[in-house]
Every structure is written in structure tokens, then in C-alpha cells.
Amino acid sequence: MRFVPARFPHNGGVPPSAPLSGSSRGRVLVVDDDAALAEMLGIVLRREGYEPAFVSDGARAVATFQQTRPDLVLLDLMLPGRNGLQICADIRAQSSVPIIMLTAKGDTIDVVQGLEAGADDYVTKPFKPVELVARVRSQLRRGETGQAENLVISDVSIDVPAHQVTRGGEAIALTPLEFDLLVALARKPRQVFTRELLLEQVWGYRHAADTRLVNVHVQRLRAKVEKDPERPEVVLTVRGVGYKAGPP
């Protein structure tokens, strides 16, 4: 509308480690087969100061991801060529970049499958631009932590500015979202967090949203940090209320 930059030929056009232009707040890869929607997303993202990149073919999604090295991925779950879930899992296997699913189905099974495949958040079509931008902003805000801070839950220690989680000197790889979730719990070890509170603090939702986000990510986090995910010691469930950190 206002300022439309020339469209880069993304396939190899941008070197993987190309520095962002000064005005860009981050590069967003849009994986969607619907040209109109992709273009509309591009308009909205550019208006907010993000730099969009596009891929419409599921089969080329991972390759494009490797070339563009985006700061965030918007991924449509229903794609021709390749299943969105598979792409999600593939990207997650090589990167901890935030992934937001665009899903047409609000059905539990689809959402949960997407989250389990590694997505950090999702928006259900039809969504409003504000909603989408709020999700994107919230995911990109991660990792903006400052002063030195060390936290301990059970036998797991967390170095907050270095984004490092270790057990007995051994590093545990977490995605930024899982890291933020763990840090939120660890910072207030006595507090019981309701799912709504976690949604607000970790995902940045202002009003009630889907608590399945929290459930699935707690499961994922437990699978990584607990010795026995069936008997959690780090992230404890408080029946009927929510979650809390285990004793240090």
C-alpha cells in the first residue's frame, strides 16, 4: 500500500546470514499455498515492519527455510505437496525458530498434532490482523533478557541470559518457548500458575485462550527435562489449578 519493497527472489536471493535491513523488525517466512492469503499476510506484516518471505509449495518449504533463515515461520497446516505437520517437524528438528501454525480447523486433534510436531503457537482461520501480529510479536520478543540470573528447579539449573539449561553439567536443548515456560515457573517457585496465567506470561495472550497450548508444551518440556516424565519432579501438576515448579 504505502511502501512496497521489491520482491526478492528468495530462492537463493538472500544469503542465509544476510544482515537485516535497518527498518526490519524480523524476517518472517510465510508457508501458504493460497496466493491471495499469502499476499495479504505480506501486506499486513510489512505494514508492521516485518520482512516477509514466501513459499507456496510444501515440498520446497524446508529448502526455502534453510536459504532464508527467517526469525519466525508462519505455516499453513494444509498444503499441497507435503503435510504441514511434517514440515513443522522437519524445521523443528534443525532449528528452534518460533513456528506459528495457521489452521483452518479448531479441532483438538489438529491443534494438538501441530503443537506436538513442534509449533509454538497457532492462529485459527479466520483471524484478524491484530491477532496475528500480536502472536508474531509475542514469539519474536523471546530471548530479550538482560542481567545475569541463575535459577534451579530440582536438579535442573537454568542460566537465563545464556539460554542454557543443564542437568549435572549436561546441556538440555530447549526451544525458546519451552525455555521461557521453564523460566516463568522457576522464577516464582512457590506460586501455582494457572494455565491462563502461563498463557499470559509465556505466550502473551491478554485474554483467555486455548489452554491446550499450555498442556502440550508442558508435556514437551517434561519430555526433555524430567528424568521420568510419568513422575515429574521439575514441572509439577497442581490438580484442578495448573502447574508449579518442583522444589530446588
Partner 1 sequence: MSLPTTEPATTSSPAPRSAHRATELRRVRRGLQRRAHRVRRRAQRVLRRWSGAAWHAWRSSLQLRIGAITMLVAGVVVVIVSVVLFNQISDQLLRVKRGAAIDQAQAGVSYAQSQVAGIVTGDAASVRSTLDRTVRELQSRNGAAGNFDSVLVYRAGDTPRPAASRQFLYSALPAELVDAVDAGTQAYQYALVPNSSQEPVPTLLIGAPVPIDGQGGEQVDLYYAFPLDQEQETLSLVRSTVAISGIALTLFVVGIGVLVTRLVVDPVRQAARGAQRLAGGRLEERLTVSGEDDLAQLASSFNAMADSLQQQIVQLEGLSQLQQRFTSDVSHELRTPLTTVQMAAEVLHESRADFAPHVARSAELLYAEVNRFELLLSDLLEISRYDAGAAVLEAEPTELGPLLHRVADGMALLAERHGCRLDVATPARQVIAEVDARRVQRVLRNLVGNAIEHGAGRPIEVTLAANRTAAAVTVRDHGIGMSSDAAQHVFDRFWRADPARVRTVGGSGLGLSISLEDARLHGGWLQVWGQPDQGAQFRLTLPLVAGADLTGSPLPLRPAVVRRTGGRS
**Footprint of partner 1 on this chain (CB under 8 A)?**
1, 34, 36-37, 40-41, 43-44, 47, 78, 104-109, 125-130, 194-196, 207-208, 210-212, 215, 239-241
Which CB atom, from 1 or from 6, has the smaller least distance to partner 1? 1
The least CB distance from residue 235 to partner 1, in Å, is: 16
Using an 8 Å Cβ cutoff, are 119 and 75 in contact? yes
Using CA atoms, how far apart are residues 161 and 142, in angstroms rounded to an integer? 11
Which CB atom, from 63 or from 241, has the smaller least distance to partner 1? 241
Amino acid letter, residue 24: S
Which CB atom, from 20 or from 104, has the smaller least distance to partner 1? 104
The least CB distance from residue 126 to partner 1, in Å, is: 4
The least CB distance from residue 145 to partner 1, in Å, is: 29
Which CB atom, from 35 or from 162, has the smaller least distance to partner 1? 35
Burial tier of 52 (Cβ tally within 10 Å: 0-12, 13-18, 19+): buried
Residue 30, beta-bridge partner list: 54, 74
Using an 8 Å Cβ cutoff, are 100 and 74 in contact? yes
The least CB distance from residue 110 to partner 1, in Å, is: 9
Residue 245, beta-bridge partner list: 235
